[in-house]
Amino acid sequence: SQQGEEDPQALSIQEGENATMNCSYKTSINNLQWYRQNSGRGLVHLILIRSNEREKHSGRLRVTLDTSKKSSSLLITASRAADTASYFCATVLKHSGGYQKVTFGTGTKLQVIP
Amino acid sequence: SAVISQKPSRDICQRGTSLTIQCQVDSQVTMMFWYRQQPGQSLTLIATANQGSEATYESGFVIDKFPISRPNLTFSTLTVSNMSPEDSSIYLCSVEDHRTVRLAGGEGEQFFGPGTRLTVL
């Protein structure tokens, strides 16, 4: 299995601080994606970084990818209470059937205290 | 983007019974995916459902326990059969953003339904 391991498992910060979550995985990938899940419900896609990219930004999000170390990080800057959620990295391999096979990491539970 | 709905949103069931979860997408998609998320855990892929063919199950999941139907390009069902308390989970269906994936060389985001929270007593 190439399920990603994320750390920390849980993170509690004050509003306005930055939050950093890390993801490590085991095998080669086509891309890596980060998702957010509120209150155990459906997931929302945050950002996708391809295997030939090293860094990507989207608003307050910054994602890095180091394929040599098989690791990625998600940085949320200037956190808000609304960022409180679980965050999952997901490694993606293209399946021989033409679709993407997505494998989720263990997740980081982020709490932002107002 | 794809909008996905699931029915029921939640259910409480007795041991030994079966529950069928429906997933409806607002656009035609080739592949649909079913995931399970046990309490406090990450998502695990159960199976991949391609319209017009048998679903492909991941290791640890079998068709007798989780039969899947895929009658058309916008709909799928997952049945959790002969339930036990260990089946208590959130079940989510998912699709690829087909157009983005095709245009981006096979890479794109997944869209997820809101999930079905199942509790088995």
- Inter-chain contact A102–B110, Cβ cutoff 8 Å? yes
Number of A/B CB contacts below 8 angstroms equals: 71
How is residue B56 written in tokens? Answer: 């492909």
Residue of B nearest to A92 (CA): B107
- Inter-chain contact A99–B115, Cβ cutoff 8 Å? no
Average pLDDT, chain B: 90
Contact B42, A37 (CB under 8 A): no
Contact B77, B24 (CB under 8 A): no
Distance CA A5, CA A36 (A): 16
CA distance A53 to chain B (A): 13
Predicted confidence at residue A1, as pLDDT, reads 43
Distance CA B29, CA A71 (A): 31
CA distance A37 to chain B (A): 10
Spatial neighbors of A27 by CB under 8 A, at least 6 apart, are: A2, A70, A91, A93
- Inter-chain contact B115–A94, Cβ cutoff 8 Å? no
* CA distance to A4, A39, A107, B38, per residue, from A11 (Å): 17, 16, 11, 21
Predicted confidence at residue B12, as pLDDT, reads 97
Question: Residue range B4-27: average pLDDT?
Answer: 96
* Model confidence pLDDT, tens digit, residues B81-103: 999 999 999 999 999 866 655 55
* Model confidence pLDDT, tens digit, residues A33-70: 999 998 756 789 999 999 999 999 999 999 999 999 99
What torsion do the CA atoms of A20, A24, A28, A31 make, to the nearest 10 degrees? -20
Question: Of B3 and A84, which is predicted with more confidence?
Answer: A84
- Does residue B79 carry a pLDDT above 90? yes
Average pLDDT, chain A: 91
Q: ∠ CA(B81), CA(B83), CA(B88), 5° rounding? A: 120
